[in-house]
Amino acid sequence: MNVDSIMNGIVIDHITAGLAFRLYNLLDLDKLDCPVAIIKNVNSRKMGKKDIIKIDSEIPINFDVVGFVDPNATINVIKDGVLVDKHSIGMPQKLTNVIKCKNPRCITSVEQEIEHVFVLTDKQEKVYRCLYCETKADI
């Protein structure tokens, strides 16, 4: 299988196998008017298998979303067919309007203008909790 290289755009690499579609949805990549390739279960020496997302456009990427879904992923910026920047992500301390609180009693369910804020409470277990009601987020 061949997927063409991109001339100008973003490659999200080293995504844990099976998480590419979650990233695709949270980053709203379906709303883009440019080619986007999701490559699943690519062989990797380091990871065994991995997913890759290629975006054939220079768009801003929300690093917090990528770090929330897979803190080990990398973001590569390509210009004129050459890698010009590579970012390692890590887990963000706070997520704002990335996910929504599932607790129906949370103030964010009642007050529409309140931002959905989650804070990292356990880095080892990758636990995020709602700032307002402390409900654990589904990852």
Q: Write out the residue range of the structural domain in which residue 19 sits.
A: 9-88
* Higher pLDDT, residue 47 or 11: 11
46 and 113 together in one domain: no
- The answer to whether residue 139 sits within a structural domain is no
CA dist., res. 4 & res. 112, Å (int):
43
Domain count along the chain: 2
**Residues linked to residue 47 through DSSP beta bridges, in sequence order:** none
Residue 35 lies in a domain: yes
pTM greater than 0.75 (yes/no): yes
Q: In 34-135, at which residue ranges do the beta strands (DSSP E only) sit?
A: 36-44, 48-55, 74-79, 82-88, 94-96, 117-122, 127-130
Name the one residue in this structure whose structure tokens are 């699943």: 40
Tens of pLDDT, residue by residue over 28-47, are 999 999 999 999 999 988 88
In a shared domain, residues 44 and 81 = yes
- pLDDT category at 91 given cuts 50, 70, 90 is very high
Token pair for residue 5? 């290289």
Instruction: List 12's β-bridge partners, or say none.
Output: 53, 75
Residue 58: other Cβ atoms inside 10 A: 13
Q: Is the pLDDT of residue 12 over 90?
A: yes
Res 44: pLDDT: 86
pLDDT at 2 exceeding the cut of 70: no
Assess whether pLDDT exceeds 80 at residue 104. Answer: yes
The pLDDT score that the predictor gives to residue 131 is 97
Our CA angle for 85, 4, 45, nearest 5°, is 65
